[in-house]
Amino acid sequence: MPTHSCSLLPSSSSSSIHGQNHQRLNFSSYIAKRILPAKVSFHSRRNYHLNVVLMQDGAVATPATPVENETPFKKLRDGFLSSVPSTQEFKEAASFDVSKDESTVSITVVGASGDLAKKKIFPALFALYYEGCLPKHFTIFGYARSKMTDAELRNMVSKTLACRIDKRENCGEKIDQFLKRCFYHSGQYDSQENFAELDKKLKEHEVMGVWVSTLTEWIIPFRLSDKNITFDYWSQMDTALLLSEDIPSKGGRVSNRLFYLSIPPNIFIDAVKCTSSSASSGIGWTRVIVEKPFGRDSDSSAALTKALKQYLEEDQIFRIDHYLGKELVENLSVLRFSNLIFEPLWSRQYIRNVQLIFSEDFGTEGRGGYFDNYGILRDIMQNHLLQILALFAMETPVSLDAEDIRNEKVKVLRSMRPLQLEDVVVGQYKSHTKGGVTYPAYIDDNTVPKGSLTPTFAAAALFIDNARWDGVPFLMKAGKALHKKRAEIRVQFRHVPGNLYNQNFETDLDQATNELIIRVQPDEAIDLKINNKVPGLGMRLDHSNLNLHYAARYSKEIPDAYERLLLDAIEGERRLFIRSDELDAAWALFTPVLKELEEKNIIPEYYPYGSRGPVGAHYLAARYNVRWGDLGI
């Protein structure tokens, strides 16, 4: 489990690449034995050279005048020539660690022109760069069908970038530095030829990172006894690529690649096929982040998983659910397993019910075409809320290792009863006028088919049939166009048996029960509702909140969920990503009721835009002697 100190690369003189230890390599002897004869000159077929003559004592002769030509290497070449080191500097750099801090990471955002990329992915990558969390040698590529230049991509991305509230210094400079690492390639998602072109560009930038950085930062000392060596800095990429592929076997830098598929699910497979066959790293890891939805039901999800595994191994697939990257969700296991006051209470003996509530105060607003194909049950419940439930209810894992945690989550999901139709209430928002403003109905969205029965609201009661949670209702509620935007977990504890103070409460016992509230968004907080005596001579009781409000307690701005998940993917940490058997177990719970809703054309209960949702949700809760905890908000 990473600590996320943003030190991604080892600081010792050896590193581990693919499980092997790569020790310090004397680069001079390696070049002598593997690459250079007594006198070597690499010449460019593009008619521009960079000649550096290294004498026996390490001195540098005057370089030849290069032939001018506009190439990606021109600026790098000129910069190198202006900083040729002294003999002493060569001697000090005579031996350096080529494995230390020297892997490259190329991050390709597939679907770079889309809203998710612009609003979330590029800003998250910049935030990681600003915090110093990205590897030293990284490149970001945008890939999409839209025709765009590097400059146009940078202009598009720059409009969405912002620095941390508490770290505004050098913001503009940092943005400029970041944008210089961003490039673009246009292509079709199903074109192996286009992905091969992308691969060539990735290699060019990876090689520039490997060789130019090494030359300019360490000034490689090709010191060979009794030899004078002429070294032409190559402009011909074939030579550079050949050399870069040979170095890792001797402990050099590897080129790693991360692909983020920010594209519709119907083209996942084409893009993965092309990535795997035409743009994978040959000398490092290749990982692919896949956005939800992961199918529409058990069958389509299984087919998607099978197709992905034709081209990728399971440990290369990072199925992202951004809710798992939210600060309060990640804090859930810390709250439970590191606080003795909670762990003994985390069971049916003390917990009466658990509520997982998600609400948005806006409708589909132009995204109805996508949403109508999935609905609120698939879009929110089957993934976001169910994943939070599994984290909440799991047994103590053997360790914080990703597989140990995911094993426990799978056990919870496999212990749950399949969702029944009688335990589900669905709704759809209708038009409503409030304060002189008329809010549209779901079916008023031009992108939604007329007469659609797709639910925009759902409430459900789920049960876990194991020793810890037997009989405890887990109530979920999710909806669009409701009165508030919020996501929270509410844990309502049982009443105190034989409570001496029952008569001192003038309200019902539900108001007097202890409740733990974990507010995931907005205004992240943890509240514990307790009963206490009101000051005075009489005996009057009240309930109060013990509150941890993150904004008041911590001055540091909370990172966006995408920042954490992107950093985890770069580090290879899979704890917050969904494994294929997790996905199978989750769909097994929801698929039967989804099919029944669609086959029977169940008409949703209509609720006004901006309300608390359908009345049927309250009847569902009452059936299990539960009152929704957010009623007073």
**Cross-strand bridge partners of residue 233:** 50
Say if residue 72 is preceded by a cis peptide, omega within 30 of 0.
no
- Our answer to whether residue 384 is catalytic in this structure is yes
Looking at the DSSP assignment, which residues form a beta bridge with residue 489? 356, 518
CA dihedral of 105, 110, 111, 112, whole degrees rounded to 10: 20
Instruction: Name residue 376's amino acid.
Output: I
Active-site residue (options: 49, 185, 205, 384): 384
Taking the CA atoms of 382, 384, 387 and 392 in sequence, report the sign of the dihedral they define: negative
Nearest residue to 477 (alpha-carbon basis) of 604, 612, 296 = 612
Is 459:477 a contact under the CB 8 Å cutoff?
Answer: yes
As a whole number of angstroms, the distance between CA 32 and CA 35 comes to 6
- Tokens 């998250």 correspond to 124
Length of the chain: 633
Helices (H) and strands (E) in the chain, counts: 22, 21
Dump strand ranges (E) for 13-66. 15-17, 20-22, 50-54
Tell me how far apart the alpha carbons of residues 30 and 626 are, in angstroms, rounded to a whole number.
Answer: 72
- The gap between the terminal CA atoms of the chain, to the nearest Å, is 37
> Which residue in this structure is represented by tokens 């970001």?
140
What residues pair up with 176 in beta bridges, in sequence order? none
Kindly list the catalytic residues: 384
